[in-house]
Structure 1
Amino acid sequence: MNSLFAEKEITFNGKKQICGTLTIPVEIAEKNKLPAVLFISGSGPLDRNANGPKGKFQLNVYKELAEYMTALGFITLRFDKRGTGKSDGDFISTGFWDFVDDAEKAFLYLKNCPEVDPDKIIVLGHSEGTIIGTALSERQPINGLMLLSGGVGNLDEFTAHQRKLAYQELRKSKGLKGILMRLLINEEKQEAKSRRLMQKMFDSNKDVYKILFFIKQPVKWMKEHFAYDTRVALKKVTCPVLAILGDKDPLVDRDLLKELPALVKGDCETHIIKNMEHGFRVQTEEMTILKMKKLLKVLPSRPLNQEGLDALSKWLYEYYLAETNTQQSLVDTGK
């Protein structure tokens, strides 16, 4: 355990019991009520640290980001998604609005923590969490919204963007593979096929749909996501907003961020960070969507992108620490 902060295992209940970690900067917390950051994780069966089940994809990015922010002087809360880690529930049948419900319960838990300043609770959404965090802003008076590796678009837009990049990358393949891909791939037909399959699943009225009798698809989750209009929600946001994307992130359409300042009513800041991938780590290799799994074997051992951390800490300091005594943070913020 790091002597600069204390970690506390916590639970909160909604329809399911959710487990998480509350991290508190020890020295500062003894004197002040502190601002807090609520982490909302990305898609897939990720636990509170951004790690997958059965030892797969041990990313630890939320743990590292939480410890970094706690060292700046923030209480942080990150939690296992429903049906992952120690949290109850069945992940594959959990819907988008179920995840929003859990995020709201986490927000209310933070608001009632005696160490937390209830008027300074910031929601940090990563990837899918940017959509969930945006939906949460319609339900609760959040005091800051951080959109990491996402923002503005909904799931339908992002998955369409990912398919488009995959088509482009396949057509650019070298040698015989490239020749075959350019002959065989018809993007228009592939998109039509994808839409037909999606509509077939949505028409089934099932929470979970099996393709080829055994490949389970989270239909409730997809249907609710696709129907959600993030832009309508963002137009109601009055708190400060920070959006950070990496230039090596193939999962997010960075052009969508151009819409953000005109959508939100509060102060808005956006950054495209050089040599940063979807998980906030350093990536110097070219952007690729087809070789992401291969990259995930080496990315977790790399540091978080310092330029991204600098943008994050500068924003947090200016809006949530500068007017309080808590700027005596436990790490150098560059101020």
Structure 2
Amino acid sequence: MEIMKKPEIKFNIYKELAHFITSLGFITLRYDKRAIGESEGDPYTSGMMDLVSDITSNVKFLQNHERVDSSKIILIGHSEGCILSTIASTITPVAGIVLIAGAGTNLREPLLYQNAQVVEEVKTLKGLKGFILRLAVSEKKLQKQQDDLYNIMVNSTEDIVRFKGKKMPAKWFREHFKYTSEDILKILSNATCEILAVTGDKDAQANSNDLKSVQELGKENIKTVVIKNMDHMLKEFAGEKTVLNIMKQYKEEASKPMHFELKAILEQWLSKFNENI
């Protein structure tokens, strides 16, 4: 089972994103997620709804800010932030939502997607490494491991549990697993605000095919875009999509700018909000 996390490499993708949006005439509020960077908190005891609460608190702060038009607040979520922003929009309504690399799905689906890629990569991996991994990795084994994780987390009552000897944030998993992909899609279907959902076709952590389910909602206020050669770190990547070598890929592209097409799509979509600025 692969629980992919954003690597410990300084990309500054959110900084670049915020500066780009500011250049378009918007005020931006960017903050470190709870227990990350300068933000306080314990990553093991913080639940998913704590992260949602942080979003809604920031929205309320902006609603009362003298320089902000409270009728034009837009949430931008990346990866897990897509789930968090979608849920947060049901608590504090906003004018728009941008969902990058993770729209229309719960937490469990990306884990299944990543596992499936690992299995396929291992099948074609050459040499001794491939031989050893084929002995250790199989679709059946990965599925059992994920099912075990799911069952332990949803039946837990503590904030922290141990899974295969590792300390795990049970509260975070438990609260995430309460939401199915159908629940997330229902929220999007019921939303009346403008929504932009974007994923790259070279994303090894979020499945760009999930956007089909979002598009099939048939909502005029929702725009979906699959960007060619964009990966999970919002960089241009023309190579083969990989999970096994993803850290090497991310390290090599750390200094690259944000994908040019993502910037163009954001600029065009956001223009509807600053027409009167």
- CA-based RMSD: 2.0
The structure 1 residue matched to 2:170, chosen from 207, 210, 219, is 219
Moved more, 181-190 or 300-309: 181-190
Matches within 5 A, 1:6-155: 56-155=8-107
Alignment CA distance shift 1:256-1:287 (3 Å): same
Pairing 1:314–2:275 present: no
Deviation at 1:185, TM superposition (A): 3.8
Deviation string, structure 1 residues 163-211 (Cα, Å, up to 9, x no partner): 1111111112123443454465431243123312431343332211123
Q: SS of the counterpart of 1:243?
A: strand
Correspondence for 2:245: 291
Q: Is the 8 A contact 2:115 2:142 kept in 1?
A: no
Alignment CA distance shift 1:196-1:69 (3 Å): same
| TM-score when normalising by structure 2 | 0.91
In structure 2, what residue type is equivalent to 1:94? S
Q: SS of the counterpart of 1:217?
A: strand
Q: How many angstroms apart in 2 are the aligned matches of 1:298 and 1:263?
A: 38
The structure 1 residue matched to 2:119, chosen from 167, 179, 189, is 167
Q: SS of the counterpart of 2:243?
A: coil
In structure 1, what residue type is equivalent to 2:222? C
Q: SS of the counterpart of 2:28?
A: strand
Number of residue pairs matched? 271
Deviation at 1:294, TM superposition (A): 1.2
Alignment CA distance shift 1:282-1:110 (3 Å): same
Correspondence for 1:245: 199
Deviation at 1:266, TM superposition (A): 4.7
Deviation string, structure 1 residues 56-107 (Cα, Å, up to 9, x no partner): 3211001001000001000000111112222222122111111001100011
Q: How many angstroms apart in 2 are the aligned matches of 1:77 and 1:314?
A: 20
Q: How many angstroms apart in 1 are the aligned matches of 2:215 and 2:221?
A: 8
Q: SS of the counterpart of 1:297?
A: helix
Pairing 1:261–2:215 present: yes
Q: Is the 8 A contact 1:104 1:136 kept in 2?
A: yes
Q: How many angstroms apart in 2 are the aligned matches of 1:206 and 1:189?
A: 26
Whose strand fraction is larger, Structure 1's or Structure 2's?
A: 1
Q: Is the 8 A contact 2:82 2:103 kept in 1?
A: yes
In structure 2, what residue type is equivalent to 1:139? I
Structure ranking higher on relative contact order (CA contacts 8 Å, 6+ apart): 2
Q: How many angstroms apart in 2 are the aligned matches of 1:269 and 1:201?
A: 34
Q: How many angstroms apart in 1 are the aligned matches of 2:94 and 2:198?
A: 19
Q: How many angstroms apart in 2 are the aligned matches of 1:268 and 1:147?
A: 11
Q: SS of the counterpart of 1:300?
A: coil
Equivalent pairs: percent with the same residue? 37
Q: Is the 8 A contact 1:236 1:265 kept in 2?
A: no
The structure 1 residue matched to 2:255, chosen from 284, 292, 301, is 301
Structure 1 stretches lacking a partner, 5+ long: 1-42, 47-51, 327-335
The structure 2 residue matched to 1:186, chosen from 108, 125, 138, is 138
Q: How many angstroms apart in 1 are the aligned matches of 2:187 and 2:34?
A: 24
Deviation string, structure 1 residues 40-59 (Cα, Å, up to 9, x no partner): xxx96x8xxxxx7xxx3211
Q: SS of the counterpart of 2:212?
A: helix
The structure 2 residue matched to 1:274, chosen from 225, 228, 242, is 228
Superposition misfits of 4+ residues, deviation over 6 angstroms: none
Deviation at 1:217, TM superposition (A): 0.9
Q: How many angstroms apart in 2 are the aligned matches of 1:219 and 1:61?
A: 28
In structure 2, what residue type is equivalent to 1:222? F
| TM-score when normalising by structure 1 | 0.76
Structure 2 stretches lacking a partner, 5+ long: none
Q: Is the 8 A contact 1:238 1:265 kept in 2?
A: no
In structure 1, what residue type is equivalent to 2:43? F
Q: Is the 8 A contact 1:241 1:266 kept in 2?
A: no
